[in-house]
Amino acid sequence: MKNGIHSDTAALVIGGTQGLGLAIAKRLVAEGCRRIVIAGRDPVRGEAAALQIGASFMAADLEDTDSILSLVDKAAHRMGRITALVNAGAMTARGSVLDTTPEAFDRMISANLRSPFFAIQRVSQLAIAAGEPAAILNILSMVTHCGQSFLAPYSASKAALANVTKNAANALRNHRIRVNGINCGWMDTPGEDAVQKKFHNAGDDWLEKAEAQQPFKMLVKPDHVAGLASYILSDAAGVMTGSLVDFDQNVAGAYPEH
């Protein structure tokens, strides 16, 4: 398309006000998307991010599924339709199988599984009613393969969303709705910086130390993942659906060779 590969895209990026979600939104705009809504909990940060990239901001709370359903309807009304949905928001609190409370578990499942599930449902209902194709991308994590012991409920929520990705892809393919996911590895984001300092007493040099131990001497960068996300959401991805792409430098199932 002469105006960009996303010139016909009307995108809703949930969790699009910082980190990877914002990087994806920026990439979509750079590649021609002119109808885009980014959503998050913090209006101050959200409005600033929207102004920066030329998007619209809408407030939404991942722990409130009704808020997410309302968000989809409002975004569709503002843009006229939704042809691309990105579920990039997530709660990343710590907890193991030994110490996670039922309340903490329920919050994690609500934010990381229930709300994305019903966002997928509502966007798909609207696309089917309009007789239009759509592309949906769920931002997952390498923890879908297992995860650290202190990420038990988070890992469970992402593993369940991985199944939802494939199940929805199968259910929606005859409606020309594609659903895919990216399993991201350890990523360099403002959110991760806050998590490292809050939960692991990390100093300001934690990133430098962490990257020195990695095979490619860096953590996963949001801009790199954003390129793949843009491709998956575009017509260039063709019939690609039901795929879960590992985006990491550590290979799931590999073991030390000594």
Q: What confidence tens digit (pLDDT) does each residue in 119-136 have?
A: 999 999 999 999 999 999
DSSP state of 5: T
- Looking at the fold, whether 31 and 62 belong to one and the same domain comes out as yes
Q: In 80-177, which ranges are continuous DSSP H helix?
A: 102-109, 115-130, 152-172
Digit-by-digit pLDDT tens for the chain (258 residues) are 456 899 999 999 999 999 999 999 999 999 999 999 999 999 999 999 999 999 999 999 999 999 999 999 999 999 999 999 999 999 999 999 999 999 999 999 999 999 999 999 999 999 999 999 999 999 999 999 999 999 999 999 999 999 999 999 999 999 999 999 999 999 999 888 988 999 898 999 999 999 999 999 999 999 999 999 999 999 999 999 999 999 999 999 999 888
Distances (CA, A) of 72 to 37, 146, 150: 10, 31, 33
Q: Assess if residue 120 is contained within a domain.
A: yes
- Looking at the fold, whether 138 and 60 belong to one and the same domain comes out as yes
Q: Assess if residue 258 is contained within a domain.
A: no
Query: How far is it, in rounded angstroms, from Cα 53 to Cα 30?
Result: 9
Distances (CA, A) of 38 to 30, 59, 86, 208: 15, 9, 10, 30
- Looking at the fold, whether 140 and 197 belong to one and the same domain comes out as no
- Looking at the fold, whether 173 and 200 belong to one and the same domain comes out as no
- Looking at the fold, whether 212 and 164 belong to one and the same domain comes out as no
The distance of Cα 201 from the centroid of its chain, to the nearest Å, equals: 26
Structural domain containing residue 210 = 193-219
- Looking at the fold, whether 90 and 204 belong to one and the same domain comes out as no
SS3 letters across 187-228? ECCHHHHHHHHHHCCCCCCHHHHHHHCCCCCCCECHHHHHHH
Q: Assess if residue 246 is contained within a domain.
A: no
Whichever domain contains 105, its CATH number is: 3.40.50.720
| 41, 60 Cβ separation under 8 angstroms | yes
Q: Assess if residue 242 is contained within a domain.
A: no
- Looking at the fold, whether 176 and 206 belong to one and the same domain comes out as no
Number of domains in the chain: 2
**Proportion of the chain in helix, strand, coil states, percent, rounded to 5:** 50, 15, 35
| 92, 195 Cβ separation under 8 angstroms | yes
Q: Assess if residue 4 is contained within a domain.
A: no
Task: Tell me how long the chain is.
Answer: 258
* Count of H-run helices and E-run strands, the chain: 9, 7
- Looking at the fold, whether 76 and 41 belong to one and the same domain comes out as yes
- Looking at the fold, whether 180 and 208 belong to one and the same domain comes out as no
